[in-house]
Amino acid sequence: MIPPSPSTPRPFITARIDKMLIALYEVARFVGRFFREVLLPPYEGREVIRQCYEVGVRSLPLISLTGFITGIVFTNQSRPSLAQFGATSWLPSLVSIALVRAIGPLVTALIAAGRVGSNIGAELSSMRVTEQIDAMEVSATKPFKFLVSTRVLATTFMIPVLTLYAISVGLLGAFLNVNSNEATSFRSFITEVFGTITFLDVFSSLAKSIVFGFTIGMVGCYQGYNSSKGTEGVGKAANAAVVTSMFLVFIEELFSLQIVNAIRSF
Amino acid sequence: MNNKSKKPAQSAETVIEIENLHVAFGDNEVLKGVDLSLQRGENLVVLGRSGTGKSVLIKVIVGLLKPDSGRVVVLGQDVVDSNTTELDQLRLKVGFSFQNSALYDSMTVRENLEFPLVRNVRNLSRAEIDRAVEEALDDVGLKQAINQMPSELSGGQRKRIGIARTLMLKPEIMLYDEPTAGLDPITCTDINNLINDVQERRGASSIIITHDLTCAKEVGDRVAMLFDGQFQRQGTFDEVFATDDKRVQQFYHYNFTE
């Protein structure tokens, strides 16, 4: 069989598969480079702490508000269903399981994808556009280690912390709601909550928050670091950072659900 | 207008050697077999129209771009075959001044200048870092800007701070990408003086990418003209422009007679 000449245009589908495989290879290389740079000295402790502050402390107001409102709304919306069976006393148990297992990690990750992911994507891509990353490269200052490794570590460390915080604030909202409606005392609310949630609930919630944090940081950095030149590239990178990381967070949530269910069935 | 008057001593040592360099972006071949050499202590000006690959050439020299073929040897080291560690070692000896200065906009001028030093030279005391920053700012005449943010500086000041930042590592070779682009004539003169000063006081060898003939005349020991992906003319400023070639004459007349 005669091989096609180089000028022969590739069929549409083959070209798309080629493009997708190349993109996957690039992502794998980027992730591999992250682990190599993180493990090899010198370490960027100070910059990691600075980024942790940016990711964690600066997200607190938004996480507080959304966590608190989620707790109140979820409790309020669950009440009528339980009331039909005269089981409103189960509200603390129901809300705590929902907040710890799913809503807390998911809401935190989505808020972080919107706030932190877009910020990382826009910041790094504007540094790429204005040749600041090239300037770091040519002065041998290892921009990947300084810009990417530190940000991914910061999101990986801080999203679990923010998740725990969001769950706590959500539970506070839930308590205020059941307290005002069912006159449940704080002591009995806490007893109900901690009697329901298990170690596996908390552990799986934290484990997937770590994965969400890593994903948000990695996607934001990948989109920003590899953005195309021009102001259009900055917008695209910020947008792609949010959309891709939100999409991946939902996929990971599905996988983690299957894994935890499999563990529970043992 | 005077040609560069005082020529600093140049040695016969070649610090950059480029042979048969080809660079293409898709179907667009920008550099088509470029040959070039730079002697120690020499200021070489590369002239050419926009889009002829002048900036590409110096980006290949520091390993920011990979050529399709050709040999690039900088300070005895083959750039194309170097791994990341070897390239980083070489980059410590080569300063690159970007066209738009590329100052880190989230850092003050002091932090911008400290950054390459602190990250490349470990165990420096605070006093040593401060002294190096002040010296570099003194060299470019901008000591007062030390605590300002890049957004508070004018174009000329940003250019000078950008050059000061590259000087922090005391490079043997300086690469300037359009150092006078978009600046007023007086600031251009300041920048030209600074480039000459870097050559004379620090003994640096430099490649200056420009299409500003005044700059070329004031700073260049040698001028090379890039047309159609190759150096068509090389020599002193007067030698390069002593020709009937229409493209070269257009360049000259636009700058000096129109």
Tokens 């922090």 found at: B168
**Domain boundaries along the sequence of chain B:** 36-65+77-256
CATH homologous superfamily of B36-65+77-256 equals P-loop containing nucleotide triphosphate hydrolases (3.40.50.300)
The ipTM assigned to this model is 0.90
Q: How far is B244 from chain A (nearest CA, A)?
A: 39
**Tokens matching residue B182:** 């978009």
Query: Taking 90 as the threshold, does the pLDDT of residue B243 lie above it?
Result: no
% residues pLDDT > 90 (chain B): 68
Chain A residues lying within 8 Å of B94, measured CB to CB: 138
Phi, psi of B183 (to 5 degrees): -110, 155
B64–A contact, CB cutoff 8 A: yes
Q: What is the mean pLDDT of chain A?
A: 92
Q: How far is A137 from chain B (nearest CA, A)?
A: 8
Q: How far is B224 from chain A (nearest CA, A)?
A: 24
**Tokens matching residue A145:** 């280690």
CA atoms B150, B152, B157, B159: torsion sign: positive
CB contact under 8 A, B102 and A141: no
Measured CA to CA, the distance from residue A207 to residue A223 in angstroms comes to 24
Strands (E) in chain B, as ranges, are 14-25, 28-39, 43-48, 69-74, 77-78, 94-97, 173-177, 205-210, 222-227, 230-235
Query: Taking 80 as the threshold, does the pLDDT of residue A9 lie above it?
Result: no
**Tokens matching residue A201:** 């609930």
Query: Taking 60 as the threshold, does the pLDDT of residue B8 lie above it?
Result: no
CB contact under 8 A, B102 and A132: yes
Query: Taking 60 as the threshold, does the pLDDT of residue A6 lie above it?
Result: no
Chain B residues lying within 8 Å of A131, measured CB to CB: 98-100, 102
**Tokens matching residue A212:** 């969400």
The B residues from 30 to 59 touching A (CB cutoff 8 Å) are 59
List, in sequence order, every residue forming a beta bridge with B28; answer none if it has no partner.
B25
Supply the pLDDT for residue B50.
Answer: 83
Note the pLDDT tens digit of each residue in A49-81. 999 999 999 999 999 999 999 999 999 999 999
% residues pLDDT > 70 (chain A): 95
β-strand pairing of B69-74 with B77-78 = antiparallel
Task: State how far the alpha carbon of A160 is from the alpha carbons of A26, A47, A208, A210, in Å.
Answer: 28, 19, 8, 6
**By the 8 A CB rule, do A216 and A151 touch?**
no
Q: How far is A213 from chain B (nearest CA, A)?
A: 24
Note the pLDDT tens digit of each residue in B51-96. 889 999 999 999 999 999 999 999 999 999 999 899 999 999 999 9
* H or E, element range at A137: helix A132-138
Supply the pLDDT for residue A1.
Answer: 45
- B194-201 contacts: CB < 8 A, separation 24 or more? B194/B139, B194/B140, B194/B160, B194/B163, B195/B43, B195/B219, B196/B4, B196/B43, B197/B139, B198/B163, B198/B167, B198/B174, B199/B8, B199/B41, B199/B43, B200/B6, B200/B8, B201/B139
- Closest chain A residue to the Cα of B120, Cα to Cα: A141
Query: Taking 80 as the threshold, does the pLDDT of residue B142 lie above it?
Result: yes
| Secondary structure (3-state) at B169 | coil
Report the candidate in A163, A162, A129, A139 with the shortest Cα–Cα distance to residue A234: A129
List, in sequence order, every residue forming a beta bridge with B157; answer none if it has no partner.
none
List, in sequence order, every residue forming a beta bridge with B16; answer none if it has no partner.
B38, B74
Chain B residues lying within 8 Å of A42, measured CB to CB: 122
Task: State how far the alpha carbon of A228 is from the alpha carbons of A134, B195, B202, in Å.
Answer: 13, 32, 37
CB contact under 8 A, B169 and A139: yes
Supply the pLDDT for residue B5.
Answer: 53
Supply the pLDDT for residue A10.
Answer: 62
Split at pLDDT 50, 70, 90, the class of B139 is: confident
Select from B77, B96, B165 the residue whose CB has the most chain A CBs within 10 Å, as the one to mutate to test that interface: B96
CB contact under 8 A, B64 and A132: no
Note the pLDDT tens digit of each residue in A127-160. 999 999 999 999 999 999 999 999 999 999 999 9
Count of pairs with CB atoms under 8 A, one residue in A, one in B: 55
CB contact under 8 A, A134 and B105: no
Chain A residues lying within 8 Å of B92, measured CB to CB: 140
B103–A contact, CB cutoff 8 A: yes
Select from A139, A146, A147 the residue whose CB has the most chain B CBs within 10 Å, as the one to mutate to test that interface: A139
Question: Which of B91, B98, B115 is facing A131, going by the closest CB pair?
Answer: B98
Q: Tell me how far the alpha carbon of residue A154 is from its chain's centroid.
A: 12
Report the candidate in A116, A145, A119 with the shortest Cα–Cα distance to residue A212: A116
**By the 8 A CB rule, do B139 and B167 touch?**
yes
Query: Euclidean distance between the first and final Cα of chain B, in Å?
Result: 15
Report the candidate in B231, B223, B156, B163 with the shortest Cα–Cα distance to residue B197: B163
Residue type for A224, please?
G
